[in-house]
Amino acid sequence: MTTTTDARRLLGGAADPKVLRELSGEELDALAQQIREFLIEKVAAVGGHLGPNLGAVELTLALHRIFDSPHDTLLFDIGHQAYVHKLLTGRVEDFDTLRQGDGLSGYLSRAESEHDVIENSHASTALAYADGLAKARQLSGEDDRAVVAVIGDGAMSGGMAWEALNNLGGAPERPVIVVLNDNERSYAPTVGGLADHLQQLRGQSDDSIDWLVKNSSRISAGEGTGGPLPVAHSLFELLGFAYLGPVDGHHRPSLEEALHLARELERPVVVHAVTAKGRGYEPAESEPDDRMHTCGVLDPATGAPAKKASAPGWTSVFADEMCALGDEHRELVALTAAMPGPTGLAKFGERFPERFFDVGIAEQHAVTSAAGLATGGLHPVVGVYATFLGRAFDQVLMDVALHRLPVTFVLDRAGITGPDGPSHHGMWDLTLLGAVPGMHVSAPRDAAQLRELLAEAVAYEDGPTALRFPKASAGADIPALERIGQVDVLHRSSVADILIVAAGPLAAPAIEAAEALQAQGIGVTVADPRWALPILPELTQLAARHHLVVTVEDNIRHGGLGAALTRALADASNATPLRALGLPGRFIPHGNRNDLLSQAGLDAEGITQAILRACAPEPFQPAKER
């Protein structure tokens, strides 16, 4: 019998996945249990993606036993299901720093390990990576290196996944193995025709695996099946794949048998593994919505949050206001791409189920479907993370804006998100949306303004609108001293030296900076444009009455509010100089949100120092000799 101490030794000794091939079945079962206990302990302490990883323990063990990483390539779509992979490739000791500044990434990271090949944590991309990598291997003659892509059933609903399946299934000479990790959900339960099809497949017998083992040589040789399959054809077979499954994703021997066969077939194969999200942790298994897809710090014994939020979050405020507006506007409908809870639209869906649409992980489809709803006389609100909006930029531009359709985009997780890292920081949306003709973008500074601006957006019928807010608490409301047209003045000095134009929640540190500067004899006005894009004429007029304009935004400085105001001032023949403060034009790592904003100079101290530097006289430069 393997003891708990032995199991811990196994976990510590599994730094090299080759070790797994030397373990007995009993040792592997003990290791699986220890991995679950370890993940619950570590993720409870710092937060992270718990449910997806608890469901992928046996699957990941089987993958590393059958395939020789990194010689064989394992591609994990999204990467939120790869904590077990990290443990099995030498990162056990780093888990205390998970998602912390300068610590272990919550997703795959090529800087961490040679076993991490891709680190884009946007869904539905791994199959396209696999297609290209398999082509490269074919051209270079590396036929002995398997390419395996692990994708969840939720991510399989994305358009890119189907584009890749179309290419992979039509190339029998490239033996890519697609492992479908089917737990019936992404964040929320998987929806659509694919979900129905997978449910039918899940109801079939595992006898299909035994049958395919007996007929593998005929299939591999392209001689046909020698008779009908013991189960109905899957959609994947119709696309050109061999289909192995359904396989119990928590029975390692069955998984290993299916994966071994998939490799031996030497053709495109889908291995359909049925798993349970949150497996082995009762608080996750009994959670009715997302099975602890992601969680904050929690009590590992109960699964309850370790502490309650001191103030309502932006998402919560939006969720309540959407329901209130839904009562007022019967034409209001809502769409989400598989994230009803995280985007705040779950409450609206519960209250108005006939006016709520979850389209799966398909941002492009969500936007153009919203265009169709607007064409039909409704006002759609599309809830999406700011970082994911870029996936549907063409649809925003050509399907919504070109037709001047009244669609409202609500961009959650705008700016710095914190521990999720570079793929999830929402720091490009102002730049992208600033290029869309007729697009109006607002950035509420507080909860009261979110309610007000959302109501204005829903009432606007002459084109698209967008609201952006961060992943954070909404904080205290900041009343305006005066409203000039659409622009709110939040702070004013008797002397009009500096105008700070602050986007959204950065109004609070801008006011702090203004007070610090005023104490040093510098007069500062702080203005919140409310509608950040396009630039309002009253904002350029206000700028003309100051000696220097400083914009503050949690978007990259290339594009966005600062760049747009610079152009507007030039167009108005206004020579007032402008300094744009924003995020650097590079990928920002994971870390604490406030720390990352501070490092970018977007806290009160950073804004103050930037303005003092701008106001300081230039040092004397002697004339160069001619």
Q: Which residues are annotated as a binding site for thiamine diphosphate?
A: 80, 121-123, 154-155, 183, 281, 363
Q: Largest Cα–Cα distance in the chain?
A: 92
**Ramachandran category for residue 298: left, alpha or beta (phi over 0 → left; psi -120 to 50 → alpha):** beta
Contacts 24+ apart (CB under 8 A), 163-166: 163/128, 164/127, 164/128, 164/130, 164/131, 165/127, 165/236, 165/239, 165/241, 166/239
- CA geometry: angle at 180 spanning 176 and 183, to 5°? 170
Q: Which entry of 277, 413, 471, 557 is annotated as an active-site residue?
A: 277
Using DSSP, state whether 66 is helix, strand or coil: helix
| 277 is an active site residue | yes
Q: Are 374 and 404 in contact (CB under 8 A)?
A: no
Active site annotation includes 9: no
Provide Rg for the chain, Cα atoms. Answer: 27
The conformation of residue 425, written as its DSSP 8-state character, comes to -
| Dihedral sign of CA atoms 348, 533, 581, 488 in order | negative
Q: Which residues define the annotated binding site?
A: 80, 121-123, 153-155, 183, 281, 363
Contact indicator for 147, 68 with CB cutoff of 8 Å: no
The catalytic position among 347, 391, 413, 445 is 391
Residues 6+ apart with CB under 8 A from 475: 311, 446, 447, 505, 508
Q: Which of 276, 215, 224 minimizes the C-alpha distance to 244?
A: 215
Active-site residue, 391 included: yes
What distance in Å separates the CA atoms of residue 209 and residue 271, rounded to the nearest whole number?
10
Q: What are φ and ψ of residue 191, in 5° steps?
A: -125, 160
At 434, list the tokens. 């600033």
Other residues' Cβ atoms within 10 Å of the Cβ of residue 73? 21
Q: In the structure encoding, which two tokens stand for residue 118, read together? A: 């891709």
Distance of alpha carbon 588 from the chain centroid: 14
Active-site annotation holder among 119, 184, 257, 363: 363
Q: How far apart are the first and last CA of the chain?
A: 88
| Binding site listing for Mg(2+) | 153, 183
Which of 390, 430, 374 is closest to 553 using CA atoms? Answer: 430
Residues catalogued as catalytic: 277, 363, 391
